[in-house]
Chain A
Amino acid sequence: MSTAPLPTRRDEAWRYSDMEALTRLWPLPAPESIVVPAGGELRRAIVQDEGAVQQIELTLGKGAVAKLHVLNIGGAYGRIELNVTLHEGADFALGAAQIGGGEQTLEIITTVTHAEPGATSRQRVRSVLGGTATGTYLGKVAVARGAQQTDSEQDVKAMLLDRSATANAKPELEIFADDVKCAHGCAIGELDPQALFYLQSRGMPPAEAKKILLQAFVAGVFDGAEDEARLQELALAKLGELV
């Protein structure tokens, strides 16, 4: 059990959170701790479909590889927090989608620390939000002193189905080395009305047309996932509820 005091919205990492729901869930269980030893490999899919705060501390030893896939879709409040530490030459990949409607609050919070040289990290996050839902991605990449040849990337996109939905995206870099490559891109948009009309003009009802476009928007993040077919299926079913 965590003995830490309940955070407030003044804490940056909880700024967009559903505090009422969090109060009900507090205190949180201790974070799950995963260590991938040097040269090891981890592949894991996480589906959050009931409303929970899930915290994972992941450490990759020298040359270790981890591929995480996250689907965050369920409950009034769903938060996935990843705290990743990369040692020399480790490789971390995250493919995540959060899909929410109604009054849902969904969050993916990552801190990826490149503690030693030569590690790589790739994060791809897609959010689809309807109703008055809020989807947040806060992603910090920290490059420690001396962690040269770090190569990191954050690719974050959100699609709003209604003007009343909210997407927050904050990629953040903290770099204490001078030979690094840290790319980040962020985009928040709406479905392309031209594409929608094109699909409908061929006979596709509006809901089907929206669904097929949204499916294309999120599909790529689960490429190569453990249990890819199940993740795609769950994502598609959730998208079907939103359109």
Chain B
Amino acid sequence: MLKIENLHATVADKPILKGLSLAINAGEIHAIMGPNGAGKSTLSYVLGGRPGYEVTEGSVDFEGQDLLALDPHERAAAGLFLGFQYPVEIPGVSNVQFLRESLNAQRKARGQEPLSGGDFLKLAREKAGLLKLDMDMLKRPVNVGFSGGEKKRNEMVQMGILDPTLAILDETDSGLDIDALRIVGDGINAIMRRPDKAVLLITHYQRLLDYVQPDFVHVLAAGRIVKSGGPELARELEAHGYAEVAA
């Protein structure tokens, strides 16, 4: 589904990713762990197409398309979802309005009919219920006045509504208490654990992986993947730290 080869990227002319390669197949959940400054968030932004993150070498193939040639909204329409570490607050724009317009823009790009207001609200209500987020919060301006945990749950509601084939979740576990962590973990499983979907979880900690069991764990250090393994690698990292395992 996703094939990253020898990816090099810079931010403000500073090299961050230095030859990263990774392949993700449908039905798989991958976790990328690594110390601060390793390039984890840069990887998610490069894949999402954020301005200012420049690819200098390498390629990214997403379901047979050159992902790097697409604009951010085209990547979304192609089935990519980026869960933000810091979801943005947008005063004056209601969640429901923005999500419905986003979903219908994606559907239009894929040659599908737009979803009616009624059908959309039904879908939104179902996904909000899954993440135990009050429907009233979805009618409020995007993320404005939301707690850290509510913002992350809102990200997952958006993921549920947009129904991507590949989700890249950048530290979706940060800022969550134990209960919210379980709700978010269950949400990821319910929405994304399917034979035709895949997830790339970016995280510092083992704890999210207790709820969302990865098939593969990779260690990212200094802009490259230095070690890959199964779920046991995450526990090893938790016990011994990055320095020892990634050495």
Q: Which of A199, A200, A201 has the largest number of chain B CB atoms within 10 A? A: A201
A5 contacts partner chain B, Cβ-Cβ < 8 Å: no
B73 contacts partner chain A, Cβ-Cβ < 8 Å: yes
A202 contacts partner chain B, Cβ-Cβ < 8 Å: yes
Q: Quick check: which of B6-14, B91-99, B182-190, B220-228 contacts chain A, the rest being far away?
A: B91-99
A216 proximity list for chain B (CB < 8 A): 90-93, 141
When A197-B50, A197-B72, A208-B105 are in contact, do A202 and B92 touch as well, CB less than 8 Å?
no
B90 proximity list for chain A (CB < 8 A): 195, 198-199, 213, 216
Give the B interface residue count (CB, 8 A): 31
- Closest A residue to B72 using CB positions: A200
Q: How many Å lie between the Cα of A66 and that of B166 in the bound state?
A: 55
When A202-B102, A203-B105, A204-B105 are in contact, do A212 and B82 touch as well, CB less than 8 Å?
no
In the complex, the answer to whether A193 meets B51 with C-beta atoms within 8 Å is: yes
Q: Which of B76, B91, B93, B103 has the largest number of chain A CB atoms within 10 A? A: B93
The 6 A-B pairs at the shortest CB distance, nearest first, are namely A216-B92, A203-B76, A203-B106, A202-B102, A200-B72, A198-B88
In the complex, the answer to whether A203 meets B93 with C-beta atoms within 8 Å is: no
Known: A200-B49, A201-B49. 20 other contacts (CB 8 A): A194-B88, A195-B88, A197-B51, A198-B87, A198-B88, A198-B142, A199-B102, A200-B73, A201-B76, A202-B76, A202-B102, A202-B158, A202-B162, A203-B77, A203-B105, A206-B73, A216-B90, A216-B91, A217-B92, A219-B92
In the complex, the answer to whether A203 meets B102 with C-beta atoms within 8 Å is: yes
Which residues in A have some Cβ–Cβ distance to B below 8 Å? 192-195, 197-206, 208-209, 212-213, 215-217, 219-220
B103 proximity list for chain A (CB < 8 A): 203
Which residues in B have some Cβ–Cβ distance to A below 8 Å? 48-51, 71-73, 75-77, 82, 84, 87-88, 90-93, 97-99, 101-103, 105-106, 109, 141-142, 158, 162
A198 proximity list for chain B (CB < 8 A): 84, 87-88, 90, 142
In the complex, the answer to whether A202 meets B99 with C-beta atoms within 8 Å is: yes
Q: How many Å lie between the Cα of A108 and that of B192 in the bound state?
A: 53
In the complex, the answer to whether A204 meets B102 with C-beta atoms within 8 Å is: yes
- Closest A residue to B87 using CB positions: A198
Q: Which of B82, B97, B105 has the largest number of chain A CB atoms within 10 A? A: B105
In the complex, the answer to whether A199 meets B98 with C-beta atoms within 8 Å is: yes
Q: How many Å lie between the Cα of A155 and that of B93 in the bound state?
A: 20
In the complex, the answer to whether A201 meets B82 with C-beta atoms within 8 Å is: yes
Q: State the Cβ distance, B116 to closest chain A Cβ, in Å.
A: 18
A-B residue pairs in contact (CB < 8 Å), sample of 30: A193-B51, A195-B88, A195-B90, A197-B48, A197-B51, A198-B84, A198-B87, A199-B90, A200-B73, A200-B76, A201-B72, A201-B73, A201-B82, A202-B162, A203-B73, A203-B105, A203-B109, A204-B73, A204-B98, A204-B101, A204-B102, A204-B105, A205-B73, A206-B71, A208-B105, A212-B93, A212-B97, A212-B98, A215-B93, A216-B90
